[in-house]
Structure 1
C-alpha cells in the first residue's frame, strides 16, 4: 500500500512514513525523506535549533527523541549543535581559535587572568578579546593598538573621500555631478571647486 506525502505529493510505501513528534495531533502524512530534508535545512540555516513540525500550520517542536527515531545521523548532528549552543551561552566559556581544533573550555580566571591555554591543542588564547593571544602585548596595549588602527582607518577614509570647506573646514563628500561645490552648513554656504 502506498501513501501520498503531504509535502512532496509523491506516493511512497507505508514504511517510509512515521509520526513526526509525539506532540502532533495529525497522523503520519509526511514521508521520512521530506522530514529528513526539513530537519537538515533547519539545522543548516538556524542558530536557534528549535525545529517545528513541517505539517501545515503545526507549530509543535520536534523533540530530540523524535529526531533520534527519524534519523540517527541527524540526531547526532542535532545533539552536537545543541551542545555547542548550550556551551556558548556560558559567559566564561570560550571556543579555541585554532582552526584545526574544535575544543573549548570554561576559564574562571576571567579578565584578571586573560591568557587561556587550550587543553586540547595548547594554543594560547585571549579570554578578554576572544582571539588568539596577542603576543608581546597586554590586553590594554592591544586595545590601544586596535583603537589607534580604527582611528587611522577613519582618518584615511576621510582624507581619501572628503575635502574640507575652504571657509569653515567642515569635511564635504562629493557624491556625483560637476565639481562646483556648495557647503551645506547653513551659516557658511561657501561655494568652491572640488578640484
Structure 2
C-alpha cells in the first residue's frame, strides 16, 4: 500500500502526498502547499516583488503567472496581480502617482516639464511632475530647485519625496516593511 503522507523538507510536517507541489513548472523541487504560499507571501509582502524564485538553494527558476494561479491562494494571486500592474505602470516614463496619501491614483502627464503642475483626475490634488513631489506651493520649479540645493531645501525635498502624510494625524510618516515611523517635520 503506498504512503499517503510525506515529510515536507521545509516545515518538517507530515503532509498528504497530494498536497506536495513545485513552485514553478520549470523545475521539480516540491514542498507542501503551505510552505509554497508562505514563500510567495514573503516575496510579495516583504520584498515587494513579483519575481519569485524557487525556494531550492541554487535554483533560479522564476514563477510565472500560470504557476501562481496553479499553486497560490486567492488572496496571494490578487496581491501578485496588483504588484504586477504597479510594476508594469512604472515602466511608462510620463506616469506619476498622485502624492495625496488618501488617493492612490496615478496618471500619465503628457505636457511634461512644459506644464509641470499635474492635477490628479481622481482627487484634484496638485503634484509637481518635474520633481515628483506634492506641488511646491508659492514657488516655481526653478525656485524650488534653488531651494533644494540648500541643506534645508534638500531635507525638505527628501522628506516630501520619501514620506506621506498620515491619513489620521497628518504627520509625515514612512514605512519600512510593516513598521511605520514618524518623521520630524520641517518649517
TM range (shorter): 0.7 to 0.9
Displacement over 3 Å in runs of 4+:
148-153
Name the TM-score, length of structure 1 as normaliser. 0.70
Equivalent residue, structure 1, for 2:119: 117
Q: 1:87 to 1:151 in 2, by over 3 A?
A: closer
SS in 1 for 2:127: strand
Does the Cα contact within 8 Å between 1:52 and 1:61 map onto a contact in 2? Answer: yes
How far apart are 1:8 and its partner, in Å?
1.2
Alignment of 1:166-185 (within 5 A): none
Does the Cα contact within 8 Å between 2:95 and 2:108 map onto a contact in 1? Answer: yes
| CA–CA distance in structure 1, aligned partners of residues 154 and 110 of structure 2 | 35
Equivalent residue, structure 1, for 2:175: none
Equivalent residue, structure 2, for 1:64: 65
After superposition, what is the alpha-carbon deviation per residue over 1:94-117, rounded to whole angstroms, capped at 9, x for unaligned? Answer: 011111111111111111110101
Does the Cα contact within 8 Å between 1:68 and 1:74 map onto a contact in 2? Answer: no
Equivalent residue, structure 2, for 1:172: none
Residue of structure 1 aligned with 2:102, choices 96, 100, 103: 100
Equivalent residue, structure 2, for 1:77: 79
Tell me which of the two structures has the higher relative contact order, counting C-alpha pairs closer than 8 angstroms and 6 or more residues apart.
2
Unaligned runs of 5+ in 1: 154-195
SS in 1 for 2:107: strand
| CA–CA distance in structure 1, aligned partners of residues 35 and 144 of structure 2 | 50
Equivalent residue, structure 1, for 2:25: 22
> What is the aligned length?
151
Name the TM-score, length of structure 2 as normaliser. 0.73
How far apart are 1:46 and its partner, in Å?
2.6
